[in-house]
Structure 1
Amino acid sequence: MEYMSMSSQNASDPVDAVDSIDPGATARAKAPQRERGRARVAALLEAAGQVFAEKGYDAATMTAIAARAGSSIGSLYQFFPTKDEVAQALLQRYLDALMEQMHALRAEAAALEAHGIAGFAARLTRTLIRFRDAYPAFAMLAESYGSVPGSGSIRGRLRAEIGAVLLALAPAQSAERAEARAAVVQHLMKSAVAINGDTAFANREAAVVELERLVEHCLHDWIDSQPA
Structure 2
Amino acid sequence: MPEDRPAEKSGERTGEPKPRRRQARGERRIAQLLQAAADVFCAYGYTATSTNAIAREASVSPGTLYQYFPNKEAIALELGDRLLAQMREAHGQAFTPENLALPLPELLDAVLDPLIEFNCQNPAFLALMHGSEIPGRIAEEHDALHASLLARVGDLLGHYLPDGDPAQHARIADMTFAIVKAGLALILAAPEGPERDAVITETKTVLLRYLDPVIGRALTTIPSP
TM-score, shorter chain, exceeding 0.5: yes
TM-score w.r.t. length of structure 2: 0.68
2:53 match: 64
Cα offset, 1:43, TM superposition: 1.7
TM-score w.r.t. length of structure 1: 0.67
Structure whose residues are more often helix by fraction = 2
Identity %: 23
- State the alpha-carbon separation in 2 of the partners of residues 74 and 173 from structure 1: 59
1:9 match: none
Aligned partner (choices 199, 207, 211) of residue 202 of structure 2: 207
Cα offset, 1:145, TM superposition: 4.6
Cα offset, 1:62, TM superposition: 1.4
Aligned partner (choices 102, 105, 109) of residue 122 of structure 1: 109
Tell me the alpha carbon deviations over residues 114-166 of structure 1, each in whole angstroms, 9 at most, x when there is no partner: 44542231343455544332222222221225675177252441241353366
Tell me the alpha carbon deviations over residues 67-119 of structure 1, each in whole angstroms, 9 at most, x when there is no partner: 3324342232133211122223222222221111001112xx21236445422
Unaligned segments of structure 1, at least 5 residues? 1-15
Unaligned segments of structure 2, at least 5 residues? none
Aligned partner (choices 34, 54, 74) of residue 45 of structure 1: 34
1:189 match: 180
- State the alpha-carbon separation in 2 of the partners of residues 105 and 77 from structure 1: 38
- State the alpha-carbon separation in 2 of the partners of residues 165 and 42 from structure 1: 34
1:163 match: 151
1:134 match: 121
Tell me the alpha carbon deviations over residues 32-70 of structure 1, each in whole angstroms, 9 at most, x when there is no partner: 362423332222111111122223334433123223324
**Residues matched between the structures, number:** 207
Cα offset, 1:177, TM superposition: 4.2
Cα pair 1:198 1:204 within 8 Å, conserved: no
